[in-house]
Amino acid sequence: MAIQTNGPLGPFSGKLGKVIGYVDKKSGKQRLRSIGKYRDREPSDAELATRVKTTITADFLSFTKGFTDIGFGQYAELQRMTSPWHAASSFTRKAITGKYPDLKIDFAKLLVSTGEMPVVHHPEVVAVEDALMFSLDTSYDESTGTAANDRVMLLAYFPDFLRSVYTISGARRSEGYDLLALPRMTAGKTVETFIAFMSADHKRISNSIYTGQIINLHKY
C-alpha cells in the first residue's frame, strides 16, 4: 500500500503496483523504483543454452584475454564497442556449436583476431621437443598491406585445463618460422592452435587462421 502526503500532487511512499516510492532523506526528493518480475517457471532449454554459451565464452576469453585484447582492439575501436572483450565475445559465441546441453567451441570456425591485413597462406604447425613450430609463408606485397617485417601472432589453447600460451610480437614474416614454447604440464595434452599477423607499427592486423589441433606427445 502507498501513502501519499501533502495532497494529490505530493510525494508518496510505499508500494503502488509494480512501483515503490520513497522520499530521499538527504535531498527530500521523491524517488521511484520498479519491482523486478517474479519468475515462477523453470528456464527453457533456449535460456539454459544461452547461459552455457556465456560460460563457455567467458572461460575461453579469461585465459586468452592478453591475445584477444590485441586481436580485436582495432575492430572494437572501429565499431565503437566498449572494449575488445565485447568484440571477442561476439565472435566466440558465433563459433559455439551443438544443441543444449552438448555445446562446445568449434575451433575451426573461431577467430581470435580480425582485421584488414591479408591472411598468411598455408601456415603449418608441428609439435617439437618442447614447443610448437609454426612454418610461415614469407611472401608479401606492400601494395596489399603486407610487409617483410610484419610480426607473427601465435596462440595455443589447451581446452582440457583452460590454459593458453601465446606471443603477440613473434618472428618477422621474412624469417619463415617461429617457435612457441610449451609448459611441461602440457605433455600429452590436446592443443588448439592459431596464427595471425600484425604490422610492425601495430596499425594493421589480419584475421586469425586456425592451424589445427595438435597432441603434444613429447615428454620433457
Host domain of residue 201: 45-215
**pLDDT tops 70 at residue 2:** no
More confident position, 186 or 3: 186
pLDDT single digits (tens) 136-191: 999 999 999 999 999 999 999 999 888 999 999 999 999 999 999 998 888 888 99
Same domain, 107 and 157: yes
Asked whether residue 40 is domain-assigned, the answer is: no
pLDDT single digits (tens) 37-51: 555 678 898 999 999
Note the pTM of the prediction, 2 decimals.
0.80
Which range (17-26, 68-77, 94-103, 109-118) has the least confidence? 17-26
Same domain, 25 and 51: no
pLDDT value at residue 162: 87
Asked whether residue 95 is domain-assigned, the answer is: yes
Same domain, 168 and 63: yes
pLDDT value at residue 40: 65
Asked whether residue 220 is domain-assigned, the answer is: no
pLDDT value at residue 14: 67
Same domain, 29 and 53: no
**pLDDT tops 70 at residue 218:** no
Same domain, 15 and 97: no
Domain containing 191 — which CATH number? 2.60.40.10
pLDDT value at residue 111: 98
Same domain, 126 and 204: yes
What is the total count of domains within the chain?
2
**pLDDT tops 70 at residue 212:** yes
Asked whether residue 80 is domain-assigned, the answer is: yes
pLDDT single digits (tens) 65-102: 999 999 999 999 999 999 999 999 999 999 999 999 99
Same domain, 130 and 181: yes
Same domain, 57 and 110: yes
pLDDT value at residue 35: 67
Mean pLDDT (whole number) for 7-11:
52
HEC secondary structure over the chain: CEEECCCCCCCEEEEECCEEEEECCCCCCEEEEECCCCCCCCCCHHHHHHHHHHHHHHHHHHCCHHHHHHHCHHHHHHCCCCCHHHHHHHHHHHCEEEECCEEEECHHHCCCCCCCECCCCCCEEEECCCEEEEECCCCCCHHHCCCCCCEEEEEEEECCCCEEEEECCCCEHHHCEEEEECCHHHCCCEEEEEEEEECCCCCCEECCEEEEEEECCCCC
Same domain, 26 and 51: no
Same domain, 49 and 30: no
pLDDT tier for residue 16 given thresholds of 50, 70 and 90: low
Asked whether residue 198 is domain-assigned, the answer is: yes
pLDDT value at residue 15: 66
More confident position, 7 or 123: 123
Same domain, 114 and 26: no
Same domain, 20 and 121: no
